A and B are shown apart, each in its own frame.
Chain A
Amino acid sequence: MGAESSPKIVIVDESPIRAAILEEGLREAGFTVVLHISEMQSLLARIYALDPDVIVIDLENPSRDVLEQMFQVSRAVRRPVAMFVDQSDAASIQASVDAGVSAYIVDGLKKERIKPILDLCISRFNAFAKLRDELERTKSALEDRKVIDRAKGILMKLKGLTEDEAYVLLRSTAMREKKKIGEIAQSILTASELLK
């Protein structure tokens, strides 16, 4: 690989969305040769065929252990591979494990060229995790609202309350019992199922 050319980066990730986010980030940062492997069957053969300089894999992927085999000197390995995060990079290991990503490099690529790649992967992984958390929260908020609406309906019918009164009753009960309003609503639904 010439000093000026862009290193070939392979992203091993079964999540197409996260891989796309990562790929886009790497391209924007000027790393033009980015490839994606989403199929884990015969992973090593696929990696050898692509002959990358850097491999990025998410920590949720069990196939990470497959990559560890590349360290083993055997006839199948054309170039030895080393984990880029070495002894002196404790902070990098911590940051990448926290973010849920790991990177491997093929020997010969200079460390200072790798640092920006890993930093970018870490920030993109963190961004993806945040996105996913927000999505989860939105989903459960929606779910809560449905439950609360149904609980309000039950209270209105059984106790002859208006919608506002039903909501106030739910909220004050939740506050008194130090529970979420969604939980109180859910227990009303459960109770009404049982009493049917």
Chain B
Amino acid sequence: MTAPLRIGFIPLVDAAALIVAVDKGFAADEGLDVTLVREVSWSNVRDKLNIGLFDAAHLLAPVAIASSLGLGHVKVPIVAPFNLGLNGNAITVSAALHAAIMDEIEGDPFDPMATALALARVVAVRRRSGAEPLTLGMTFPFSTHNYQLRFWMAAGGVDPDEDVRLVVLPPPYMVESLANGHIDGFCVGAPWNSRAVDHGVGHILHFVSDILVRAAEKVLAVRQNWSDKNPDVVAALVRAASKAAEFVAQPQNHAETARMLAQPERIAVDADVIQRTLDGHLKISPDGTIRQSSRYLLVGREGASRPDPVQAAWLYAQMVRWGQTSFSPEALRIAKAAFSPELYDAALGREEKAANAPQSIGAFAGPAFDADDIAGHLAAFEIARRT
């Protein structure tokens, strides 16, 4: 057994590979003695990882990049040797906003361009009538949820900083805030969208996989200097997470996975809600309408586990687009290096050459993403906050 490891996580379904790695014994099989520590905020996870109270963490992919670049907080180089999940978020709106969008929509309600254009018309109507701007919740300034909401609405002509209010809300408060009208919608991970639908207060408008075919969501993050000093531990962690992710990926294991995740010390919600997420079988409306998608949350399949530097570059490009930082080639290099397929490949002793598929981002709007020409790529988007 190695020295005991403390790993922080936020109670979300995309922590599945990490939780299963520990609770199903894959970590112990690798000689790791892991204690999982449930946290209440991404700020806490980031700070405790940064100062060494955690050896590793379930972390928002953009926070790993922001921390490496010193954006928003102390600069601590972080590296992600394993990708815990792709996709998994959804955009949920109140019954009122859902009805307003459906009144304005032309075309397929699952087409994000159709809904974004409809949202733009709803926003215009509200402005003319002197109504307050719509308020939408997301989880963190450096979050996939923030960038996914922005990307979607901006494609329809809605300026996320001028036309609506985007506010950070802790995921456990999202459903209540939607119910009492403090917000009109949100983008968040599982299980919170399903909770809003189950409580009859929300409609799932989009799975994030409608907006981006592949979107890096949470990573297993470690400090770069810790990784340099403990290569064997990092490799063992990657192997344990990889075995767990492969376990989670098998449909016949979804029920057992859901039961493990549902435990009070882990995610602490009904196993049934968790299983719907794993199955990609989601109730999207309080009337009971079900939507099925195998791409809703990808854990351990379709190459989801292998960190993809192109994903890191896309997230960095969003930070630039929305004025969180200005572009520099050096920062882009640092951002890409935060996602390490090298550590992943070294740990597993193999190379999944086809893993990082050509359809690496697959956004529904704008030109195909070019990680080598961020400035040129961003020039194609009209709405932006360039610094």
Contacts and interface: CB of A to CB of B under 8 A. Distances in A.
A147 B384 CA distance: 66
Contacts of A94: 51
A64 B43 contact: yes
B173 A64 contact: no
A110 to B, nearest CB: 20
B170 A62 contact: yes
A98 B167 CA distance: 29
A86 B140 contact: no
A61 B182 contact: no
Given A75-B161, A87-B74, A65 B51 contact: no
A35 interface: no
A68 B42 CA distance: 10
A192 B387 CA distance: 73
A85 B169 CA distance: 23
A66 B169 contact: yes
Contacts of A50: none
Interface in B76-121: none
Nearest to A72: B141
Given A65-B43, A71-B72, A93 B141 contact: no
Report, as a range, how many residues of chain A touch the other chain: 20 to 34
Contacts of B50: 93
A131 interface: no
Interface in B123-164: 139-141, 161-162
A65 B42 contact: yes
Contacts of A90: 51
A73 B75 CA distance: 19
Contacts of B365: none
Interface in B335-386: none
A5 interface: no
B288 interface: no
B40 A93 contact: no
A94 to B, nearest CB: 5
Contacts of A69: 141, 167-168
Contacts of A65: 41-43, 139-140, 168, 170
Given A69-B141, A87-B75, A93-B51, A61 B41 contact: yes
Contacts of B141: 68-69, 71-72
Closest 4 A/B residue pairs (Cβ): A62-B170, A69-B168, A64-B41, A62-B40
19 contacts: A59-B41, A59-B44, A62-B41, A62-B170, A62-B172, A62-B173, A63-B41, A63-B170, A63-B173, A65-B41, A65-B168, A71-B141, A74-B161, A83-B73, A90-B51, A93-B51, A93-B74, A97-B51, A98-B53
